[in-house]
A and B are shown apart, each in its own frame.
Chain A
Amino acid sequence: RKEVEQDPGPFNVPEGATVAFNCTYSNSASQSFFWYRQDCRKEPKLLMSVYSSGNEDGRFTAQLNRASQYISLLIRDSKLSDSATYLCVVNARGGNQFYFGTGTSLTVIP
């Protein structure tokens, strides 16, 4: 079983739509959780960390459900510039062990 699993999509949504991605992780001892954004042919960049209490950054909301072992990313009022691949990242044992989902592709359509 993979450490981190994501629905690869693609998700094609119109501008202004709300879209949500989920990611599940297998190790209940996982400690830290992140969402990264990766544009085509570029490196992944940190979008936001995910905290137990949930956190929001503008149009983006991230939540963690430890009981069900998943994290989610909600994007409200989608913009064309949100088109990218979104990677779920889990730090499974603390320290320096990171596990990556394969990414969910989002295309926002005019």
Chain B
Amino acid sequence: DGGITQSPKYLFRKEGQNVTLSCEQNLNHDAMYWYRQDPGQGLRLIYYSQIVNDFQKGDIAEGYSVSREKKESFPLTVTSAQKNPTAFYLCASSPAEAGNTIYFGEGSWLTVV
């Protein structure tokens, strides 16, 4: 099936640890995104990438890092510098053409224990 695959779905992290969330898409989309959603709140953009080997910071990039070595893959690392990482993380992708919509993976739940 075509789509966006995020893993793991649930992840527990100890304070001080880095964790990496995987995002893979087989939709041949150029642009990929990472959003964070806290309970009862809207989506906030962490990072986005419009092309391989290039990415830009979103509104809340501090404490996060990404890479875009392949068109299909856009992993997100939550570093120990992120002070409040417990949240729902959504990876998304969209085609490059204007007017196209955005598609989401099923999300990853990260909890700091």
**Chain A residues within 8 Å of B, Cβ to Cβ:** 31-32, 34, 41-46, 49, 87, 89, 91, 94-96, 98, 100-103
Contacts and interface: CB of A to CB of B under 8 A. Distances in A.
B42 interface: yes
A102 B88 CA distance: 15
Contact of A41 (B41, B50, B88, B104): B88
Contact of A45 (B31, B100, B104): B104
A100 B96 CA distance: 18
B48 A94 contact: no
A49 B42 contact: no
A21 to B, nearest CB: 15
Contacts of B50: 95-96
Nearest to B90: A43
Contacts of A102: 41-42
Contacts of B100: 32
Contacts of A94: 98-99
Interface in B75-108: 88, 90, 94, 96, 98-107
Closest CB pairs A-B (n = 3): A94-B98, A102-B42, A96-B31
A103 B104 CA distance: 16
Contacts of B60: none
Contact of B101 (A49, A95, A100, A101): A49
